[in-house]
Chain A
Amino acid sequence: MEKIIEKLNLKEFWKDLKKFRFTKANVRTIAVYSFLLLFAIFVFIPFYWMILTSLKTLEEIETALQPSLWVKFKDMAFYNYYSALQAAPYIRYMANTVLIAFISTVGTIVTTISAAFAFARLNFKGRDTLFLALIATMMIPGEMFVITNYLTVTGLGWASPFTQTFPEAIMALSFPFMTSVFYIFFLRQTFKTIPDELYLAAKVDGTSDFKYLRRIMVPIASPTIITIIILNAMGTWSAYIWPNLVTSKEEYRLVTNGLRNAYTQNQGIAYNEAMAAAMIVTFPLLIVFLLLKKYIMRGVSRAGTKG
């Protein structure tokens, strides 16, 4: 806790506040912070709702005529978290999810970086047409892909209801998600912001394309690459339609399957337990984000990359 306070620099904040004068710059600062704060609150409400609901008793949720916006500490139903953990084998699901997220993210990063590089830096015949064709694939709703992909995966023998093994399940779960047009497009755009001069200078120096990609483009684009890693992991975390289709055993499924299946069986969902489960599932994601966040926001110095 103290560490957080220290990080927020509250003391300095007070000092600054005491010195405060209504100058034009200060008014601007106030406007900026008010704007950001307003939207931050707007954005935060549903997350707050999730925490709040996870700590309410079922009776309170069902009987309150209007939902209360606060739970006193002594009334907090931490028991929800205990019951939520009993509702599905989350540890197993979590392990599966981490594994799949890891495999599909590594795959995505490799395929995305190389494809984005080709589209952003290399000249080849049909480049723009192919690129448009890739973008065009995003214009068909995902559900249309599911039908054929299911047939492909079962055709490969990876999803038999009788004989599926864990490695087969892993392949069925991760292969279709080892590349993504959405991220290729994203990274290509980032690569495009890197000035051509750097590339031409490297060419003059005799640097190979691969070396240039690895030494210069990837480091400069690292905020984008980290963002892609986070988004991709998030995608695995919230996937449920595909994992439900291609796994024959319940123990091969992912966290969101556990979350959904535990609470969609009956009428009258126990929202507090469902939200407690959602919090448990969300927690590792938040940690990952907090750990990687600083890499997104660390502006990349170009000093070392000057040709």
Chain B
Amino acid sequence: MLEKQSNVKAWLYLLPALALLSVFTFYPLFNAFLLAFLKDYVYGSATGFVFMDNFKNVIADPNFNQAVKNTSIIVFVSVPISVTVALMISVLLNSIKKFQGLLQTIFFLPYVTNAIAIGMAFAFIFNESYGLLNLMLSWVNIDPVDWLGSWETGMVSLLIYTVWGGLAFKIMVFLSGLQSIDKQYYDAARVDATPKFRVFTRITVPLLSPMIAYITVTSFIGSFKAYRTIVGLFGPTVLPAGTLPDESFITIVGLIYESLSKSDTPGMVSEAAAASILLFITTLAFTIVNMWVSKKRVHF
């Protein structure tokens, strides 16, 4: 009886969010699943159902392998780096007194920086002849590199750019999380004269673990969907300037965009939906493993 009551109450609390989500999130999601199995869908009508054809077309795309490769690299390299860096910055920022407010504001600024300005600034940073990165390398006697000129160096630039792009949000989340930690724990540690690193591993990380889990899960999901940052750095062709498409930085979501840009052609929206579902399944499997592992390790 008591449990039933609590069930009803929980659903009441969920009602406002679920009502909106069913209309604007679940319903479109179901539609996306439906679209992936329609034949020659265009402008709201289709000629019938298909089972695998739309999925086959996605995999047959000449750039599919390249997209999988690029997406995997972005996911597995950029996320661990950016989460670690953001965590370090947040903890250190939280520990200082002087200039804390100023630095906090600076770390927030990427959020209000115009996308064009970001693109221009990084074009300057990575420029071969007068760029900031090559200038710094010249201090340690390393020859200039054409950072945006090929897939290999371009990927390094892209990863730097991606880490940059994610810092502001992650720092904000970690900072707000650090504020919710009860100061008593730190006071106790100070009384015991616990070394700082131990305080970090034994108090901060466990107590912040829900936030770390949040950032890790959402960052992985977000980087599986990476595409806009790439357009920001390499333009709409997502190619290093003057190269052929075998050096492309296309990602899975890039393929989805490409199909959607042809949504006036029969079947193309369905292909985008099919690609979305492939991405969805991969991300979901990955996230479940991720959550299962983190559940074991941290209190979540």
Contacts and interface: CB of A to CB of B under 8 A. Distances in A.
Q: Do A and B come from one complex?
A: yes
Interface of A: 7-9, 13, 28-29, 32-33, 35-36, 39-40, 42-50, 53, 66-67, 107, 110-112, 114-115, 117-118, 122-125, 127, 130, 132, 134-141, 143-145, 147-149, 151-152, 175-176, 178-179, 181-182, 184-186, 189-190, 192-194, 209, 220-221, 223-224, 226-227, 230-231, 234, 259, 269, 271, 274-275, 278, 281-282, 285-286, 289-290, 293-294, 296-302
Given A140-B276, A297-B100, A226 B176 contact: yes
B172 A231 contact: yes
A192 B276 contact: no
Q: Which of A115, A149, A194 has the most CB of B within 10 A?
A: A115
Given A46-B118, A275-B117, A127 B10 contact: yes
Contacts of A302: 182-184
B221 interface: yes
Contacts of A290: 105
A142 B217 CA distance: 17
B284 A223 contact: no
A32 B88 CA distance: 10
A289 B260 CA distance: 36
Nearest to B120: A49
Contacts of A136: 280, 284, 287
A-B residue pairs, 4 tightest by C-beta: A278-B114, A148-B28, A50-B117, A124-B10
A278 B10 CA distance: 44
Given A123-B6, A141-B225, A299 B179 contact: yes
Given A149-B28, A190-B177, A223-B180, A40 B106 contact: yes
16 contacts: A36-B89, A46-B122, A47-B112, A49-B124, A50-B114, A107-B20, A114-B13, A145-B25, A152-B27, A189-B211, A193-B177, A227-B172, A227-B173, A259-B114, A275-B116, A293-B104
A144 B274 CA distance: 11
A182 B117 CA distance: 27
B280 A289 contact: no
Contacts of A117: 13
Given A144-B273, A186-B214, 5 more contacts: A107-B20, A143-B257, A182-B218, A231-B169, A278-B114
Contacts of B7: 124-125
A193 B26 CA distance: 29
Contacts of B23: 152
Given A35-B92, A224-B180, A302-B183, A286 B117 contact: no
Given A145-B25, A223-B176, A190 B112 contact: no
**Chain B CB within 10 Å, residue with most, of A28, A43, A115, A230:** A43
A111 B17 contact: yes
Given A32-B96, A289-B112, A141 B253 contact: yes
Interface of B: 3, 6-7, 9-11, 13-14, 16-18, 20-21, 23-29, 31-32, 44, 85, 88-89, 92-93, 95-96, 98-114, 116-118, 120-122, 124-125, 127, 129-130, 132, 164, 167-169, 172-173, 175-177, 179-184, 196, 207-208, 210-211, 213-214, 217-218, 221, 224-225, 253, 256-257, 260, 263, 269, 272-273, 276, 279-280, 283-284, 287-288, 291, 300
B180 A220 contact: yes
Contacts of B284: 136, 139
Tell me if B's interface is mostly helix, strand, loop or mixed: helix
B150 to A, nearest CB: 22
Given A115-B16, A144-B32, A224-B180, A175 B24 contact: yes
Given A125-B7, A141-B225, A47 B179 contact: no
A123 B188 CA distance: 33
A53 B280 contact: no
Given A193-B210, A298-B179, A123 B21 contact: no
A282 B111 CA distance: 10
Given A39-B89, A143-B257, A234 B117 contact: no
Contact of A44 (B16, B109, B207): B109
Nearest to A285: B112
B168 A190 contact: no
Contacts of A67: 124
Contacts of B184: 302
A281 B13 CA distance: 37
Given A112-B17, A140-B276, A293-B104, A271 B179 contact: no
A285 B114 CA distance: 12
A128 to B, nearest CB: 10
Given A139-B224, A226-B176, A115 B18 contact: yes
B182 to A, nearest CB: 5
A151 B32 CA distance: 13
B211 A145 contact: no
A144 B104 contact: no
Contacts of B108: 289, 293
